[in-house]
Amino acid sequence: MNGNKQAAGVYSVPKQWAERAFIDAQRYEAMYAASIANPEEFWGEHGKRIHWIKPYSTVKNTSFESGKVSIRWFEDGTTNVSYNCIDRHLTERGDKFAIISVGDDPKDDARITYRELYAHVMKWANVLRSQGIGKGDKVTVYLPMIPELTYAMLACTRIGAIHSTLSTNCPPKVLASCIADAASTVVVTADSGTRGGRKLELKVKLDAALDKLPEVVTSVIVVKHTGAPVSMLKGRDHYYDELAETVPDQCPPEEMKAEDPLFVLYTSGSTGKPKGVVHTTGGYLVYTAMTHQYVFDYRDGDIHWCTAEISWITGHSYTVYGPLANGATTLIFEGTPTYPSMSRYWDIIDKHKVSLFYTAPAAIRSLMGSGEDAVKSNSLASLRLLGSVGEPIDPKTWEWYHRVVGGGRCPIVDTWFQTETGGILMTPLPGATELKPGSVGTPFFGVRPELVDAAGNVLDGVANGNLVIADSWPGQMRTLYRDHERFEQEYFSIYPDKYFTGDGARRDAGGHYSITGRIDDVINVSGHRIGTAEVESALVAHASVSEAAVVGYPHEIKGQGIYAYVTLIDGEAASDELRKELVSWVRKEIGPIFTIDKVQFAQGLPKTTSGKIIRRILRKIAEDKCTEFGDTSTLSNPAVVDHLIDNRLNRK
Ligand code: WT7
């Protein structure tokens, strides 16, 4: 892309990209218009990109009407996800690598062909069956980033079981609540893992979780990964290898309805309780496969590396299901970007000839800090496209990613999506969209974004507003697990008959969008979603804490940092020791991604006359913008605010 930087900070589409693109600018316009004018016809056609056992005759049956939200795609079709991700490729690509697995230790690599993947997944499916799992049953998967994680997920899809994959970061308490919510009878884990040279005590943490749930889980399947000895409860815990010896090799795929649930994924919301986002079979696979091909310009021969943990939606959709449905080679990495050195990502790209690289701004920012030399010891010549996801990418980071990592020749696709959306909803398309740092481009086919003001009025043209989506797309979540009412309430009632994203956005004159950040009580730390209510509940669970309010503030590396205001119970004194204790308490309760950056002890919290905390004021104090409170006429306790300002922790 050298030399085609246009106006300040805008990069036009290089000719060679436009010429060979799946989608050029003209084609985008035409296809997008067609997808909106007639979604049935559009998706009826593109739905055929996956294999159906029984083809669908209806395409779209969806309603966003408040109180009656119902989302069904391809509903009379039947298919099987593992068949699509494996069996379908065997004749032409049986010997192609499906997975390149890179261990925490740079010496540990493995390559798994599609034929090997096929054998592993059938074994795994039979092992799950031997533990009583069948269609519609729930399996919790708690594994490090190793091939077995994908085997276990695909094995679930082979027999129609629903997986719930939990991050290795999950502490016992969260594990227990997610296992209980999903009512999983079987949990898959490993003895332990290693990440950044440090040990992950998976089995130990799982045991602590299961102590709280003696009745729910009947079987724990343990992968011997590090070989570390772990305690095994007789009758409940089994090593995978031992079970595998006792089951057959072959396992035909189960015929699944398009709307049968595929997985549940727990994520933070605006209340203290994590919510189980439910995705289903047919629409999800069509949507992730199609976005993976067009957004990343995926072609046979590409090595695709998405660095996200598989237990998050980005990993589900763009490490596992999208790439494998397209017969791609997908790389999974057990470690961290900084171990054993700051050049680890770049070493992996050169060693494995990665061509499509997809990561989060926080990772780029932290690597940027170690300078260009750490990058330049590698050639990175195999790269042809870069992706960014999870949080807004600031122009400085974008430019660095483009120039230093991409050598100025790789387009960057800044992709916007959510756990709830299943796949990418807004993005530049390489070959079609000119690139502007910080812009997530235009909507993908079939996606109808709108900006609305607080009253729900639709804003036209250049505008800044709340981002809603006006109609359904096949990859959309269908419900919250066992809580359709909360699903309706959180997503479809704020702006009736529209899906509310929780994000704010801006649209420029060319119809390109930029995400301005969350407008609900969620903050985004390094691309991880932090429900402030979850942090608050964890804080008030501590014996010394009376009240807590948590907000985000701008943070140089993490995008946003976590700022907590805490009032103590009578007789408890504020101290640095207590501050440290509260930080580690919250990490232990809900996990290390919830590491509080600042704890300010407060006499009280600013409240309205009706007792509601005024978060706007707390946000401004955390940002050190104490003159920008806006309307404070409902504030019942002004003296409290003065005290908060005097003791604020961020000062420029
Ligand atoms: C929230 C979703 C699916 C990505 C992983 C996080 C923010 C996501 C972008 C982007 C600006 C972004 C939004 C969104 N976000 N991608 N390219 N630019 N913000 O998934 O945990 O469900 O969080 O991440 O605020 O709502 P998630």
- Residue with CA nearest ligand 1 atom 23: 418
In angstroms, the Cα distances linking 55 to 45, 80, 239, 471, 567 are 12, 12, 40, 24, 60
Ligand 1 within 6 A of CB of 169: no
DSSP reduced 3-state for 622:
helix
Residue 6: its pLDDT value, please? 52
Residue 511: its pLDDT value, please? 95
Residues 6+ apart with CB under 8 A from 198: none
Around Cβ 371, how many Cβ atoms within 10 Å? 11
CATH architecture of structural domain 522-647: 2-Layer Sandwich (3.30)
| Pairwise CA distance, residues 265 & 271, whole Å | 16
What is the residue extent of each domain of the chain? 17-506, 522-647
Dig out the tokens for 226 from the structure.
């590090």
Ligand 1 within 6 A of CB of 390: yes
251-254 long-range Cβ contacts below 8 angstroms, 24+ apart: 251/121, 251/122, 251/123, 251/125, 251/126, 251/129, 251/158, 251/159, 253/80, 253/82, 253/83, 253/87, 253/158, 254/80, 254/135, 254/158, 254/159, 254/160
Nearest to 281 by CA among 444, 140, 160, 155: 160
43-49 long-range Cβ contacts below 8 angstroms, 24+ apart: 43/73, 43/74, 43/286, 43/446, 43/474, 46/286, 46/290, 46/445, 47/73, 47/74, 47/77, 47/282, 47/286, 47/474, 49/286, 49/289, 49/290
Around Cβ 146, how many Cβ atoms within 10 Å? 21
Please tell me the distance between residue 130's alpha carbon and the centre of ligand 1 in angstroms. Answer: 38
Q: Probe ligand 1: pick from 524, 525, 594, max atoms within 8 Å of CB?
A: 524
Ligand 1 within 6 A of CB of 309: no
- Residue with CA nearest ligand 1 atom 2: 418
Ligand 1 within 6 A of CB of 426: no
Ligand 1 within 6 A of CB of 428: no
Q: Is the dihedral of CA 20, 26, 29, 33 positive or negative?
A: negative
As a CATH number, domain 17-506 is: 3.40.50.12780
Mean pLDDT by 10 residues, the chain (652 residues): 56 93 96 98 98 98 96 98 98 98 97 98 98 98 98 98 96 94 97 97 98 93 97 97 98 98 89 87 98 98 97 97 98 97 97 98 89 93 97 92 96 98 98 95 98 95 96 98 95 95 95 91 89 90 93 92 94 95 95 95 87 87 90 83 95 86
| Pairwise CA distance, residues 41 & 35, whole Å | 8
Q: What is the pTM of this model?
A: 0.93
Please tell me the distance between residue 456's alpha carbon and the centre of ligand 1 in angstroms. Answer: 22
Ligand 1 within 6 A of CB of 560: no
Ligand 1 within 6 A of CB of 518: yes
